[in-house]
């Protein structure tokens, strides 16, 4: 069995990213810059000449559109696309739709920082990064990983926190360190897996 490739991409800038709003499970579209970032991600992936077998994405439009732009850019629009809310962004609960500065005024800078950057303290009615991982990782292990075990190449277009949860597992990053990890929009990360389905190398596509 040959090696397999997993490529992770965070969606391009969304309209709410641009407005500094907590987005979570809300469903804004990409900005003009976000569309450009998605096309650029596609060009970077195209340079690797990867033939994908399947793309996984979330239940949210900004990730789906990013993935579709990438597939068009690499001329692989025919492949199977699987959408599932297990790959959705972290649910920010009562913070969703609020400007981050307004949230700091309401709850205080320290409290908002804890909600944003702690591993296991969720905002009101929302998810922590730990909670997010508790839905992302079982889905990855049960649904996505078997494709990599079978030597298939997989593209995942998702979100900052759902990908952060996945990278934590793939790279064995600690709880303290993972909350510091920044994942840029539209910047693909490529992982190579050996024939046993074990990750053996990583490459940021720039």
Q: Is the pLDDT of residue 135 over 60?
A: yes
User: How is 139-193 classified by DSSP, letter by letter?
Assistant: HIIIIIHHHHHTT--EEEEE-HHHHHHHHHHHTT--HHHHTT----TT--EEEEE
**Could you tell me the fold of the domain covering 4-204?**
Rossmann fold (3.40.50)
Rounded to an integer, the average pLDDT of 76-99 is: 97
pLDDT of residue 2: 78
Active-site position among 37, 73, 89, 127: 89
pLDDT of residue 196: 81
Average per-residue pLDDT for the chain: 96
Rounded to an integer, the average pLDDT of 142-149 is: 95
Active-site position among 11, 73, 127, 159: 11
Q: State yes or no: is 89 an active-site residue.
A: yes
CA-based nearest residue to 89, from 180, 21, 33, 40: 21
Distance, CA of 65 to CA of 29 (rounded, Å): 8
Q: Which helix (H) or strand (E) holds 81?
A: strand 80-83
pLDDT of residue 48: 97
Distance, CA of 15 to CA of 124 (rounded, Å): 23
Contact 162, 88 (CB under 8 A): yes
14 strand-pairing partners: 30
Residue pointed to by tokens 């998605």: 38
pLDDT of residue 1: 54
Rounded to an integer, the average pLDDT of 109-127 is: 96
């Amino acid at each position: 069995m040959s090696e397999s490739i997993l490529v992770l991409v965070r969606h391009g800038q969304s309209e709410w990213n641009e407005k500094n709003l907590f987005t979570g499970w809300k469903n804004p579209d990409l900005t003009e810059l976000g569309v450009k970032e998605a096309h650029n991600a596609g060009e970077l992936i195209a340079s690797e000449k990867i033939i994908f077998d399947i793309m996984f994405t979330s239940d949210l439009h900004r990730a789906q559109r990013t993935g579709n732009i990438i597939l068009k850019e690499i001329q692989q629009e025919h492949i199977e696309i699987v959408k599932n809310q297990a790959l959705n962004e972290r649910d920010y609960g009562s913070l969703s739709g609020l400007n981050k500065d307004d949230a700091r005024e309401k709850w205080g800078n320290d409290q908002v920082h804890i909600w944003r950057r702690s591993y296991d303290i969720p905002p009101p009615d929302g998810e922590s990064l730990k909670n997010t991982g508790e839905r992302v990782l079982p889905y990855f292990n049960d649904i996505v990983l078997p494709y990599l075990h079978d030597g298939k190449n997989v593209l995942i277009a998702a979100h900052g926190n759902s990908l952060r949860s996945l990278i934590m597992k793939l790279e064995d990053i600690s709880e303290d360190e993972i909350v510091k990890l920044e994942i840029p929009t539209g910047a693909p990360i490529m992982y190579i897996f050996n024939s046993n389905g074990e990750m053996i190398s990583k490459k940021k596509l720039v």
